[in-house]
Amino acid sequence: MHVDQLFENERLELKRQLPSSRKLAIEIIALANTRGGRIVVGFDDKAKKITGITPSQKTEERIANIIHDYCEPRITYSISYESLEGGHVLIIDVPDSGYKPHFLKAKGLVAGTYTRMGSTSRLADQETLARLIREGKNISYDSEQTSESVSLDHDRIRK
């Protein structure tokens, strides 16, 4: 990973420092609901420089607690530190999840589901939420059954 090649996008979120618990949970949820991705802490994306973060067990435990306390259903992730140009960055890797949709426990499914749109995390609209529910159940849109009854004209079908 080279510093001059880092810029936020759908799969990468850059932070100078570890954000608040709620904000970090939103970023993790959004990545898990989209295509997965990475959060890099200790990097100033505007100045394109390492601000650094001190590796610590306490930080890793804080992240584990945030994911456990704020995210539903459970999200898998991995944490690592990498040395870049004289400083350390914390990396949180979040894979694309098969247990969608993920949401903030306190807000519930409708008000707490987030996805990535470009370099931002956004509250999922109704259509996106429906798609995430289908993905979580491994159901395609075309295979969904409808509750509407349809009358068929059997004579026209035979012709």
pLDDT digit string (tens) for 139-153? Answer: 754 444 545 555 666
Q: What mean pLDDT do residues 15-36 have?
A: 97
Q: Please state whether beta strands 120-123 and 43-44 pair in parallel, antiparallel, or not at all (unpaired).
A: unpaired
Model pLDDT, residue 104: 98
Going along the chain from its start, the domains and CATH numbers come out as 3-140 (3.30.950.30)
pLDDT digits (tens, 9 = 90+) for 75-88: 999 999 999 887 99
H helices of 4-151, in order, are 21-33, 57-70, 108-112, 126-136
Model pLDDT, residue 144: 47
Quick one: pLDDT band at residue 27, thresholds 50, 70, 90?
very high
* Residues facing residue 89 across a β-bridge: 82
Find out whether 115 and 124 touch, Cβ atoms under 8 Å.
Answer: yes
